Amino acid sequence: MTRIDAKFAALKAEGKKAFVAYVMAGDPDYETSLELIRGLPGAGVDIIEMGLPFTDPMADGETIQLAGQRALEAGMTLKRTLQMARAFREADDTTPIVLMGYYNPIYNHGVDTFLADAKAAGIDGLIVVDLPPEEDEELCIPAQAAGLNFIRLATPTTDDKRLPKVLQNTSGFVYYVSITGITGAAAAEAGDVGPEVARIKAQTDLPVIVGFGIRTPEAAESIASIADGAVVGSAIVGALADGKPVTDVLSFVKTLSDGTHRA
């Protein structure tokens, strides 16, 4: 059982939904980013999604693209991202960390070396948005063998024929992308998302978490009411980009987690 599995089991026992927060590792610099990540559990975050900066983030909207650029310009690398996870683990051995990014930096690091390093750093799961199920032998299956969850994205365009393939080697949870497009592009609507979540849950026992387009406590509560939890990324990254101090960003995160946990 991974930390992710244990977290969902504990939340289920409490009758609570999961709040997942996405932050870009190294944005705007290593020290500020680590301070923010260390503060997330205290702000009610159940699972931390740590973005791995990359030069060509095709699934991300402007807010997260700019965050990745700031992180890269500040010297963030895959090695330093794993170093940040290790630093977080010095004081927190229970909050799950999911590393979200693209395959190129992992490939360049070497898959076997990366998996060993990620496991040692305290990473619990991976979301690699540009590796389709047809490429599971590349990373997904080795990751599961190394004890890391491999979390797959399902989208509004994932039809009933495609869905079993998407779910085939997925573990930890299913990440349902609530809108067609990039991060931060539009608002998620529970009325649209509910039937899709039900469709996915009919084919898997895994929790289904909904992300993209959730920016307010009210939206987080609404989405979490029809899913197993909610992900907020662009709104948190944007608050940091606006120059708000980490304490203020964490206060905002707390309102989002409170909204999710009310569901």
Report, as residue numbers or ranges, the catalytic residues: 49, 60
Strand partners, 100: 51, 127
Contact call for residues 2 and 215 (beta carbons, < 8 A): no
Is the four-CA dihedral 164, 165, 167, 171 of positive or negative sign? positive
Adjacent-strand bridge partners of 177: 211
Question: How far apart, in Å, are the Cα atoms of 163 and each of 13, 59, 202?
Answer: 28, 20, 11
CA distances from 9 to 4, 12, 23, 173, 205 (A): 9, 5, 24, 12, 12
